[in-house]
Amino acid sequence: MTQPTLNHVSCPDAAGGHRMAYWQWGQPDSPHVVLCVHGLTRQGRDFDTLAQALCAQAEGTMAGGLRVICPDVAGRGESDWLKDPAAYQVPFYAADMLALLAQLHAQSPIATLDWVGTSMGGLIGIVVCGQPDLPLPVPVRRLVLNDVGPALEWSAIERIAAYVGQAGHFATVQQAADAMWAISKGFGPHTPEQWLALSQPMLRPVSAAAGSLLRLHYDPAIAQPFKSATQEGSQQGEAMLWHLYEAIKAETLLLRGAESDLLSHETAQAMTVRGPRARLVELAGVGHAPTLIAKDQVAAVAGFLLA
């Protein structure tokens, strides 16, 4: 399969509900599901390279193959924008993932569940995996945390807050790709072709008119809860996240960009001796966050999930 199928799930909320989109790769009836959840301003197509690699490796070697699910978190990609911007927060996103997994399980029963979370997607994973009483179809077996942990560096949060929500308009895909690269160099080396492929799903036309300008895919209001965060509040949230991390039972792989400004080396080391005692892989020449496109990054994740 060279392209995923686009699907939707209805998710409840206080404003009457919303639809969350998700991209499905591989065998739609496979009992082994890998859920890949993206970062703050990204969308589910970020995982195209990883999803294709996982499905290719699983084909012929795993009975029933693999089902790789890559949601567009609410307010991003093909998902609805929320009526209440205050709901753009991790606990609400976690509830949406439970609704998604319930629908997937009803469509074809899940026997094995793995989670790959980049940045925000990893925080959602910690919230879900750290609460054993949540109504999951099955417990998460293996968890990949991509450059994120319970403690986040405040200077990086301030850096991200400086640009999130500034959607902008662009005349061409290349112009937008160049603008995104200016704030994304922490992603590490990419060829022009790789970066253009990552950038294309990030764009939507401003209007239906031919030759319309392009805008970024997400609701600018996702920035509101993020920009209202304080350092004191962040420290309080850190204590709660460590508590959740300590409760995780899933075998855990932690990827860290060696130059990451969000996940410190000290926090990463602490994660290897606390809670699930994550296996740490540090990636040279990469900051926040690895895009899981480079061959060594794909191999690290695939080797962990499919071993």
DSSP at 175: H
Which DSSP state fits 82? P
Supply angle C-alpha 224, 69, 182, rounded to 5.
Answer: 45
Six-digit token string for 234 = 């962040």
d(CA 111, CA 134): 16
Closest by CA to 282, choosing from 303, 266, 306, is: 266
281: helix, coil or strand? strand
**In Å, how far from its chain's centre is CA 305?**
16
Q: How far apart are CA 293 and CA 48, in angstroms?
A: 9
CATH number of 5-159+232-306: 3.40.50.1820
Q: How far apart are CA 120 and CA 195, in angstroms?
A: 21
- Spans of all domains in the chain: 5-159+232-306
Edge to edge, what strands does the sheet with 203-205 contain?
169-170, 214-216, 203-205
| Beta partners for residue 68, in sequence order | 25, 34
How far is the C-alpha of 91 from the C-alpha of 86, rounded, in Å? 11
Strand 140-146 to strand 251-257: parallel, antiparallel, or no bridges (unpaired)?
parallel
| Token code pair at residue 306 | 């499919």
Give the pLDDT score at 60: 74
Per-residue pLDDT of the chain (307 residues; tens, 9 = 90+): 579 999 999 999 999 999 999 999 999 999 999 999 999 999 999 999 999 999 999 987 888 899 999 999 999 999 999 999 999 999 999 999 999 999 999 999 999 999 999 999 999 999 999 999 999 999 999 999 999 999 999 999 999 888 888 878 999 999 999 999 998 989 999 999 999 999 999 999 998 887 889 999 999 999 998 888 888 888 889 999 999 999 999 999 999 999 999 999 999 999 999 999 999 999 999 999 999 999 999 999 999 999 8
Question: What pLDDT was estimated at residue 73?
Answer: 98
